[in-house]
Chains A and B, each alone.
Chain A
Amino acid sequence: MIPGKYRSVSGRATNNVNCGLHLVIQTSSLPEKNKVEFKLHKETPSFPGRLLQHDLERNYSSRQGDGRVISPSPRNKSSCISSTTNVTELCGLEMKTTTSSLSAFGDSSIQTPSKSRIRQGCHSAGPNVSGDHINLVSSSMPSFPILQRSSEEKILYSDRLTLERQKLTVCPIIDGEEHLRLLNFQHNFITRIQNISNLQRLIFLDLYDNQIEEISGLSTLRSLRVLLLGKNRIKKISNLENLKSLDVLDLHGNQISKIENVSHLCDLRVLNLARNLLSHVDNLNGLDSLTELNLRHNQITFVRDVDNLPCLQRLFLSFNNISTFESVCCLADSTSLSDITFDGNPIAQESWYKHTILQNMMQLRQLDMKRITEEERRMASVIAKKEEEKKRESQKQSLLKEKKRLTINNVARKWDLQQHRVTSIAANQDRKDSDSPSQDPGQVDGSTISAFPEETGSLDSALGNALQGLSVTDTHLVEVDGDTLSLYGSGALESLDRNWSVQTAGMVTTVSFTFIEFDEIVQVLPKLKIKFPNSLHLKFKETNLVMLQQFNALAQLRRIDQLTIDPQGNPVVSFTLWKYYVLFRLSHFSMQKINGTEVTQNDMIMAERLFGILAHVASSELPQYRLISILGDARKKQFRYLLETKGKKPGIVSEENNDSKRLVGENTNRATLNYTTRDFYNEKLEEIKEKKKFCKMYIEDLVKEATEINMKNEALQKLWPQMFIELVRDAVIEIRNKSSYMKLCLQQITDQK
């Protein structure tokens, strides 16, 4: 409650009660700060009730609890209260309790002090009476009265002078009182501080409730410790340069809008700036001894520099305009602060107010006049921890979001680059070159992919069941958000090889591809079919869909309900016929929506009308060997894929077979319309070229052989009639002489035997 230092002071004060009011000003050379000690008379009945105006102001806000001003007073009457206002109070009290009589101003009609004793404790009731015998005589200068006291008064109260409620409009010239230490001008109408420069030993100056507009005339009062200027009209803190030992400065109830010119007051312990026009708090450097700072009832929106006050213990910021903790966050850095009030600020209405303050200011003992319990502190720390966690989570989310954004940007850039390159190559009409640059990005991807599984692994574990696996690398991005699987960049297709949990895979109904060449997507479609059997909605954006025939590739999927082809990066969408072609080619899916618009029966009929003949021609007019080769390609492709992935699972294989059978059964006339990716097609063309070369040679040989035979045959045919005639003629000549020929024959037979 009351800091130790003050407790000890009050303790000492109680020891000296019998000596009436005694002001001891110790200009000790103790290493600690000089102290002003007020010792109160023990029997000061007026004390609790005697609250000055500004004390009231101070207290009404603390009515709800036992305000710290009120609380000490009944319990410990003699205790010394350390706030500025209390000091003022004390002074007022002291004035009253003095038993000495007060001499009225010369012939002025001010009441005589005879009643002074009776009036004890009723400070507010009527003009105050001073115990001194004072004569105010007109001085030689017409405007200033001259004050003189009788010598006996001087001896009795040699060091104090009270001129309370004297209706003074100017400071009187005080002569022969150079030893005065305490001077009180409360409740007058003084507009200017004058004529006190000779009182160089003055320690206590009270000008409360006057009409002073400017701080001035104090430059010689080097030993002044307490300066009370509350309830005046001061607009600016100034001219305090020489008051180096000032201990208490009360400027409450003025019109000050800025804290300034106080940095030299290194001994100042109490500064009261309540009820001024401050809009913010700063310039507090150098106030090394300040323990209490009252800033109630201003319009303060933010507070700075408080962490530069090493001794500050109490700070009153009630009834200001503070709305965020950030605007007072320097308070958290103050190690000495133990008591703070924020009531009457917007910040105090916030739900997070209490625990935020408690969490950030561990050193605090009182908040808004209430002692902080351990329980409260625990609660605050729990809440704060939660909040922190939440913040961290959201930060993580936003970090991920940002990372995602960056990655997508990166992928987009890469895509653009690639597109540009591809088109420029196409412009060069150099097919062969297109292979090597298209491999380049692939290699780049390859290096980053190696880092890919680790990252996703850690993320997966971190996010747990949140179903928000987000894997980010520089070149591609894979994201599962609810029922949507989003793939950005060609590298993302690799993720289809990953082991997706059954739950995730089952939940995904929408697959979106962005910045991926459609031809690359085609290659993973069989995988997609197996890994995400429930995917019904495909989205394509920036996938380089340029030809109608590319849609043929989608026919191999299990089922598609919706198809969304973003016009961005998919020139095919600009065609008039693309929707009809999709409907025609994928008619076996009986799709519900294309690019968000419902498919009507009319659309289906139109599609059939436009392309039905194509399918008919393709199926009925294609020679059988071609049919086999085209359908065979598709089958072979599937077969090859199955071989590549897993021959282990016969279940899937058979299912696959069923699938292809069903597919064929459902639209045989369309199955011939398939799509082979450009690379694959080029490969095939190369293959065909090889075969052709061989066939050409083979046929050439055959034909040459055939023509040669033909030529020989023709030559033979030409010769044959002549040859025949010659042969016949020879035979005839031989058998012309029958008997000799017979002889010859017989001879031959006998010879043989």
Chain B
Amino acid sequence: MATERAGTWLPEAGKLELGSCCGPRMLSPERLALTDYEYLAQRHVLTYMEDAVCQLLENKEDISQYGIARFFTEYFNSVCQGTHVLFREFSFIQATPHNRASFLRAFWRCFRTVGKNGDLLTMKEYHCLLQLLCPDFPLELTQKAARIVLMDDAMDCLMSFSDFLFAFQIQFYYSEFLESVAAIYQDLLSGRNPNTVIVPTSSSGQHRQRPALGEASMLEGVEASLFYQCLENLCDRHKYSCPPPALVKEVLSNVQRLTFYGFLVALSKHHGINQALGALPDKGDLMHDPAMDEELERLVVRSRLHRTSRQHRAQEPGTFGFHRRDKLEALERVPSASAPTPSPYRWEPRE
């Protein structure tokens, strides 16, 4: 099984535990089968080393001033903390599972307030938020994530933050896996034996598929157990990250048949998978980040002071300023009209 867990988030410290990379694994037969170089590449150590050197090259004048050793320390610290992906190019962000998880976490941390405010946004607006963190984030990925939440013909609808975030997590973190799944699903749907699956009992599998096809025209989607078989196979061979097969089994065992998007929705809503991925808190705690909230309160107070002092300065002469402050205070008591109430969802969750 090639699944790997880059690390888990310690909620308080926000630090990455790289423990799973060393220790017992080092002695596993898998480890011994690889050369050192291959091992380093597989663990993405090379990626970070390359990037570190690249960053060093980019700012060599500045960095040489404060020490190359200091730079490397900072770099690898930031990699551990997951802050190394902020404002980086997409190719780097998606380069490793750890980077993906870090990006997801950064996105959640930065825009949790948007969700907390209750704003429902369109796919394009979420995309803009993503682009604030990663300027060249591709629209395609956001679109795919939105498609998990929305029906095909309702792509302009508004989504809640949590719905989008969890769908986006699945899509972004497992994007290569999901592509393969989509191919398998299409093959199953059209009644072909998925050519990517090497099932030992391939003939029997085909026998089972025939009737399934007849049903498929009436029911919708594919048979869950067969689908799982194929996916299990895929997880075994897949070199990119996959969700833990046990959890996939759990998802698929609850239903008889399911569609591709049904599967994605189920994945995105599964707590276990979210936990296994480890980037985001549970859905219930999604808006919960006391440390940051505290920080935010401080910022708000500061900005308010800043602005009022500024206005004081700017409008001291004349009676106009007086008027204006009155008005401002009056408006302050009125709740913001632009924030829609979160309760009535306008989109239809996919089943």
A376 to B323, CA, bound (A): 62
| With A549-B132, A617-B106 as contacts: A695 and B86 at CB distance below 8 Å | no
B89/A688 in contact, CB under 8 A:
yes
Give the chain B neighbours of A610 by CB distance below 8 A.
Answer: 113-114, 117
A625/B74 in contact, CB under 8 A:
yes
Binds A, one of B213-221, B226-234, B268-276, B327-335: B327-335
| With A547-B131, A704-B37 as contacts: A609 and B300 at CB distance below 8 Å | yes
Give the chain A neighbours of B57 by CB distance below 8 A.
Answer: 691, 694-695
Interface string of A271-291 (1 = CB under 8 A from B): 000000000000000000000
B111 at the interface (CB under 8 A from A): yes
B187 at the interface (CB under 8 A from A): no
A148 at the interface (CB under 8 A from B): no
Binds B, one of A536-544, A597-605, A721-729: A597-605
B35/A614 in contact, CB under 8 A:
no
A382 at the interface (CB under 8 A from B): no
Give the chain A neighbours of B40 by CB distance below 8 A.
Answer: 703
- Which residue in A575, A618, A673, A688 is a CB contact (below 8 Å) of B124? A575
Binds B, one of A45-53, A383-391, A626-634: A626-634
B206 at the interface (CB under 8 A from A): no
User: Which of B63, B83, B121, B340 is the most central at the interface, judged by chain A CB atoms within 10 Å of its CB?
Assistant: B83
| With A601-B308, A618-B87 as contacts: A548 and B129 at CB distance below 8 Å | yes
Interface string of B323-347 (1 = CB under 8 A from A): 0000111011010101110000000
How many whole Å from B314's CB to the nearest CB in chain A? 8
B190 at the interface (CB under 8 A from A): no
Bin the interface of chain B by size.
Answer: 35 or more
- Which residue in A605, A615, A630, A696 is a CB contact (below 8 Å) of B87? A630
B308/A616 in contact, CB under 8 A:
no
A618 to B50, CA, bound (A): 24
Give the chain A neighbours of B292 by CB distance below 8 A.
Answer: 613, 616
A623/B78 in contact, CB under 8 A:
yes
Where chain B touches its partner, the secondary structure class is: helix
| With A606-B336, A608-B303, A628-B59 as contacts: A618 and B86 at CB distance below 8 Å | yes
Give the chain B neighbours of A681 by CB distance below 8 A.
Answer: 135-136
Give the chain B neighbours of A609 by CB distance below 8 A.
Answer: 113, 117, 296, 300
- Which residue in B87, B136, B295, B339 is a CB contact (below 8 Å) of A616? B295
A500 at the interface (CB under 8 A from B): no
Give the chain A neighbours of B59 by CB distance below 8 A.
Answer: 625, 628-629, 632
A710 to B35, CA, bound (A): 11
Give the chain B neighbours of A692 by CB distance below 8 A.
Answer: 50-51, 54
Give the chain A neighbours of B303 by CB distance below 8 A.
Answer: 587, 604-605, 608, 612
Bin the interface of chain A by size.
Answer: 35 or more
B109 at the interface (CB under 8 A from A): yes
How many whole Å from A627's CB to the nearest CB in chain B? 10
Interface string of B49-91 (1 = CB under 8 A from A): 1110111111100110010000100110110010110110101
A402 to B110, CA, bound (A): 51
Residue of A nearest to B117 (CB): A610
B125/A576 in contact, CB under 8 A:
yes
Q: Which of A674-730 contact B (CB under 8 A)?
A: 675-676, 681, 685, 688, 691-692, 694-696, 698-700, 703-704, 707, 710-711
How many whole Å from B112's CB to the nearest CB in chain A? 7
How many whole Å from A561's CB to the nearest CB in chain B? 11
How many whole Å from B57's CB to the nearest CB in chain A? 5
A571 at the interface (CB under 8 A from B): yes
- Which residue in B50, B78, B311, B336 is a CB contact (below 8 Å) of A696? B50
B310 at the interface (CB under 8 A from A): yes
Q: Which of A348-398 contact B (CB under 8 A)?
A: none
B299 at the interface (CB under 8 A from A): yes
Give the chain B neighbours of A644 by CB distance below 8 A.
Answer: none
| With A616-B299, A617-B110, A691-B57 as contacts: A601 and B331 at CB distance below 8 Å | yes
| With A577-B121, A604-B304 as contacts: A612 and B113 at CB distance below 8 Å | yes
Give the chain B neighbours of A695 by CB distance below 8 A.
Answer: 50-51, 53-54, 57
Give the chain B neighbours of A571 by CB distance below 8 A.
Answer: 124
| With A547-B131, A548-B129, A575-B128 as contacts: A617 and B109 at CB distance below 8 Å | yes
Give the chain A neighbours of B136 by CB distance below 8 A.
Answer: 681, 685
- Which residue in B53, B114, B295 is a CB contact (below 8 Å) of A698? B53
Interface string of B120-153 (1 = CB under 8 A from A): 1110110011011001100000000000000000
How many whole Å from B119's CB to the nearest CB in chain A? 5
Give the chain B neighbours of A616 by CB distance below 8 A.
Answer: 292, 295-296, 299
Interface string of B93-117 (1 = CB under 8 A from A): 0000000000000100111111001
Give the chain B neighbours of A612 by CB distance below 8 A.
Answer: 113, 295-296, 299-300, 303
- Which residue in B74, B117, B328 is a CB contact (below 8 Å) of A624? B74
B36 at the interface (CB under 8 A from A): yes
B46 at the interface (CB under 8 A from A): yes
A577/B300 in contact, CB under 8 A:
no
A602 to B87, CA, bound (A): 29
Give the chain A neighbours of B131 by CB distance below 8 A.
Answer: 547-549
How many whole Å from A700's CB to the nearest CB in chain B? 8
A612 to B56, CA, bound (A): 30
A223 at the interface (CB under 8 A from B): no
B307 at the interface (CB under 8 A from A): yes
Residue of A nearest to B77 (CB): A623
Residue of B nearest to A704 (CB): B37
B296/A590 in contact, CB under 8 A:
no
Give the chain A neighbours of B83 by CB distance below 8 A.
Answer: 617, 621-623
Give the chain B neighbours of A590 by CB distance below 8 A.
Answer: 307, 310-311, 314
- Which residue in A549, A603, A604, A621 is a CB contact (below 8 Å) of B135? A549
A157 at the interface (CB under 8 A from B): no
28 contacts between A and B (CB under 8 A): A547-B131, A549-B131, A549-B135, A571-B124, A575-B121, A576-B120, A577-B119, A600-B327, A600-B328, A604-B307, A606-B336, A613-B295, A613-B299, A614-B111, A616-B292, A616-B295, A617-B86, A617-B109, A625-B59, A625-B74, A626-B86, A675-B135, A685-B91, A691-B57, A694-B57, A698-B53, A703-B36, A704-B37
Residues of A within 8 A of B (CB): 546-549, 571-572, 574-577, 579, 587, 590, 600-606, 608-618, 621-626, 628-630, 632, 672-673, 675-676, 681, 685, 688, 691-692, 694-696, 698-700, 703-704, 707, 710-711
